[in-house]
Amino acid sequence: MQTAIHRKTIQNSITLRGIGVHSGKVVTLRLHPAEANTGLIFYLYKGTQKIRIPVTLDHVVDTSNATTIGDGGSNRVQTIEHLLAAVHTLGITDCIFEIDSVEVPIMDGSSLPFWEGIRSAGIRVLDETVEPITITNPIWVVDGDKYLVMLPSDELKVTYSIDFNHPLLRGQSYTTTLDESILGSDILPARTFGFLKDVEALQARGLAMGGSLDNAVVLTDDGYLNDHLRYDNECVRHKILDLIGDLAVMGRPFRGHLIASKAGHALDISLAKCIMSQVTGNELTQYKSKRIPLFSKKEAAR
């Protein structure tokens, strides 16, 4: 088991505002400090209602197009992964998120505004600690020609490959270690991406009304609609961002070598569930092995 690390929260409350990618309406998101062991919790404001939705795997209710959490009823908050990627990168384990919409604001389509906002709020190290997730055997999930694997490793690193039916996104791959510095400079600024034909179809259905070149990389049939990219391989870097944000729903720091091919939110969350299943089993076994018996087998036989 890896050495426990201190839990963290933010030093001061901050307010972030941006457009909801689907509604096109302004969303207000407030982040507040929290006590140790609070975890990450959303409070969704709907009129006079204040609905509590913890960020846990048990509360993930949808993974189509984005990761969505809910309270088991009709109350949901979607597109949480960009915010959580920044939260994970900065080691925040305890924080309250207050939001007045069912979707986290898209901001510029990346995690950079969240990362910068949290850093500006300051980070407070708490007295309590948390055990990083340690896996002892490879864990994988497969869906047809898509797969996602996590191998044991003392550091966090990733090998990610995408292969879309597009001349610029065939066989794009990226391998890197993922410490806080690299995540902050090479991954978190990568923007979400989509295809122009898909965006037009979504908007015809009243969705993606807030999507624009200000918050997404948009691909035409043979190129980019944007004037420039932040990285030559910005799309695959954003897939890594999504993966880190999705795995952050586990609520604990994690280490391992992630190997992904054409994965997405559904596989990300499936892997997270498999990881937690193995980790919980291992930790229970270790706990049981340390228990002191109240009497010996010889005494029990008398």
Backbone angles phi, psi at 97, to 5 degrees: -115, 120
Residue corresponding to tokens 């920044």: 86
Q: For residue 197, with 0-12 CB atoms within 10 Å meaning exposed, 13-18 middle and 19 or more buried, which class applies?
A: exposed
What is residue 169's three-state secondary structure? coil
22, 59, 238, 265: the catalytic one is 265
How far from chain centre, in Å, is Cα 32? 19
| Largest Cα–Cα separation, the chain | 83
Q: How far apart are CA 235 and CA 60, in angstroms?
A: 25
Size (the chain), residues: 302
What is residue 119's three-state secondary structure? helix
* Active-site residue flag, 265: yes
Asked whether 259 and 267 are in contact (CB, 8 A), the reply is: no
Which residues are catalytic, by number? 265
